[in-house]
Structure 1
Amino acid sequence: MGRRMFVAVVPPEPVQEDLAAFLEPRAEHPWIAPEQWHITLAFMSDVSASAEDRLVEGLEAAAARRTSMRLQLAGAGAFPDPWAAKVLWVGVRGDVDELGRLARNVRNSAQHAGATPDGQAFAPHLTVSRLRRVQEQTRWVRVLDTYEGPSWVADEICLIASELGVGPHGRPRYEIVATAGLG
């Protein structure tokens, strides 16, 4: 069995700090720690050691074909929906068409490297809460929907390994394996 990995855009520290400051007075909700915040471009549940080097090379090539983009965290929603939520998220605005093209290039590179990505359609978002059980979350979606963070220029992607349940409080532990610059 290989490693669980994903490719993501990680917001810079000032963006994370701004969102953390927005969530801090609402600490009664189980928020994900800021160091785990990211915008997933592709998720691969089983990357073999032999595919990992090819994956890094492919991601570098995919990133080089795309340009840096201006992004902003704003808006909100829930998966599958606010009335029966398992995940709460903050939306992404800005150059989302370019972000979508980047996600397609990343997924194609992963497939070509032998690290098959999941079949989920790309939906640009940053997960801020994973709930232990499905529950109605319309109030929290309305609160999160008022958030508009600072914009930033995304100029790299990260390949991140994920180990479930071994981080603090039973959370996943993330390790950045490689980064690739855009453009």
Structure 2
Amino acid sequence: MRAFVAVEIQDDNILDAIAKVQSEFKIKATAVNKKNMHFTLLFLGEITEEAASNVKKALSTISFKPIEVRFTHVGAFPNPRSPRVIWIGVDETASKKLVELASQVEKKLEPIGFKSDKPFKAHLTIFRIKNRIDDISGMIEKFKKIDLGNYTMTELKFKQSILTPNGPIYSDLQVVLAQ
């Protein structure tokens, strides 16, 4: 199964505000469905049932406090001139706390064979871009400072992802609650 560890956005007001930002972008790209909005803390890829069981055991030992996030800006990877991903970022305090949580996840899962291929950056993907599009620097500049509201993250999730022609279908394999 294809799997990852994430923190989801489950607040309708925030999700609606994100959808409004998405609607401002007139580009040829795949918008992330609002029911699939999440911060990927660690992508695991294709794993076996046995590995999934080991991941659940490791994640059950994670302890974290609720994380208050404020959605504050839009960016693009690798850059706005040649974007592959458009994302929404969070305030500095929330970013640090999400980096800490991602680091804790990686430390727990590294002994069983899972390690990130790049440093975690707190971002919420809102578009995936398959084919080259024009420079979107102007649009990114327009959303350099935004306030889409605050959200308190209280759940860490181990998720399964089934890829379909209509986009991924996610399901929860495990939920770890903040303390």
Residues 17-40 of structure 1 show CA distances to partners (whole Å, capped at 9, x for unaligned) of 22223434x364442211111111
Q: How far apart, in 2, do the equivalents of 1:131 and 1:18 lie? A: 21
- SS of the aligned residue for 1:61 comes to coil
CA RMSD across the alignment = 1.8
Matches within 5 A, 1:21-60: 21-24=20-23, 26=24, 28-29=26-27, 30=29, 31-60=31-60
Instruction: Tell me which residue corresponds to 1:179.
Output: 175
The residue type equivalent to 2:51 in the other structure is A
The gaps in structure 1 that reach 5 residues or longer are none
The gaps in structure 2 that reach 5 residues or longer are none
Matches within 5 A, 1:99-178: 99-114=98-113, 116-135=114-133, 136-164=135-163, 166=164, 168=166, 171-178=167-174
Contact between 1:79 and 1:86, CA under 8 Å: does it hold in 2?
A: yes
For residue 126 of structure 1, report the CA deviation from its aligned partner: 0.3
- SS of the aligned residue for 1:132 comes to coil
Q: How far apart, in 2, do the equivalents of 1:141 and 1:162 lie? A: 29
Contact between 1:60 and 1:181, CA under 8 Å: does it hold in 2?
A: no
Q: How far apart, in 2, do the equivalents of 1:167 and 1:160 lie? A: 19
Taking structure 1 as reference, are residues 13 and 109 closer, same or farther at Cα in structure 2, changes over 3 Å only?
Answer: same
Q: How many residues align?
A: 174
Q: How far apart, in 1, do the equivalents of 2:32 and 2:144 lie? A: 17
- SS of the aligned residue for 1:134 comes to coil
The alignment-based identity, stated in percent, is: 21
Deviates more, 1:154-163 or 1:132-141: 132-141
The residue type equivalent to 2:146 in the other structure is Y
The residue type equivalent to 2:170 in the other structure is Y
